[in-house]
Amino acid sequence: MSETDMSEIVLQFDNVTRIYEEAHGKQIRVLEGASFAIEKGELVSLVAPSGTGKSTLLHVAGLLERPGGGEVYVNGHAANRLSDDRRTGLRRNDIGFIYQFHHLLPEFSALENLMLPQMLRGAKRKRAKKRAMELLDFMGLADRAGHRPSEMSGGEQQRVAIARGVANAPKLLLADEPTGNLDPGTSERVFAMLDRLVRATGLSALIATHNHELARRMNRILTLRDGRVVELKL
């Protein structure tokens, strides 16, 4: 596939297979010929019952696992052909992650939780602090910058986690049930901020969710059937 063909595609699965080996040689075929693409600026939901492979798909998309077959393209790069070091670099520079549980570092403030990933990537402290404050302000949390996670509500913690996911300006954002641990009202507010942030920054996002109402508000809905990715009608 040429770079021209991939110019507007941020994530692409091309006939991806992922098989797990169990005891006694039993195989579980989670992904089998999975193919789909997400273009620049798209907000795409992944809706499927538990146990069908949503988390596996996100792990493969995030270069945390290698598929058994097929190819994963991230921002035009054929990831399976890269060394482990180059995959790590691609994951660090081009991909952001948000999880169901915020996983913020408890001993650090909201501001510091956003500064750390930037500084690990090489950003100077002053620049990292400036971007962290801009993101907190965008998420309506500027007044919580000095608070540790234990001093914030669940919704505030998750909004900080969302801001952390885009702190390094990734091309692709992957989210696994980012509102699944919140009550309906808080879930709605957090999703609204996530939606606003994704659209304002122009990045692409793949969001796994059980919430069909939220899923219908995204550009497209994908699901998994027998290891393959199928697009649902909105």
Residues of the chain above pLDDT 70, percent: 93
Rounded Cα–Cα distance for residues 31 and 50 (Å): 14
Q: Which long-range contacts link 77-84 to residues 24+ away (Cβ below 8 Å)?
A: 78/1
**Tens digits of per-residue pLDDT, 116-168?**
999 988 899 999 999 999 999 988 899 999 999 999 988 888 889 888 988 88
Residue count of the chain, please give it.
Answer: 234
The domain tally of the chain equals 1
- What pLDDT score does 48 carry? 84
Report, in angstroms and rounded to the nearest whole number, the Rg of the chain calculated over CA atoms: 18
Q: Is residue 206 part of a domain?
A: yes
Q: Is residue 61 part of a domain?
A: yes
Tokens of 65: 């696992």
Domain of residue 186 covers 9-232
Q: Is residue 175 part of a domain?
A: yes
Q: Is residue 2 part of a domain?
A: no
Query: Which strand ranges, in their side-by-side order, compose the sheet holding 9-21?
Result: 27-39, 9-21, 69-74, 77-78
- What pLDDT score does 73 carry? 94
Q: Is residue 208 part of a domain?
A: yes
Query: What is the CATH classification number for the domain harbouring 66?
Result: 3.40.50.300
Residue 65 host element (H or E)? none
Q: Is residue 3 part of a domain?
A: no
Q: Is residue 165 part of a domain?
A: yes
Q: What's the pTM? A: 0.84
Query: Which strand ranges, in their side-by-side order, compose the sheet holding 172-176?
Result: 95-98, 172-176, 204-208, 43-46, 220-225, 228-232
Q: Is residue 184 part of a domain?
A: yes
Q: Which of 232, 231, 226, 234 is nearest to 33 (CA)?
A: 226
Return the number of other C-beta atoms located less than 10 Å from residue 5's C-beta.
11
DSSP labels for 170-192?
-SEEEEESTTTTS-HHHHHHHHH
**Tens digits of per-residue pLDDT, 80-114?**
888 899 988 888 889 988 876 678 899 999 999 99
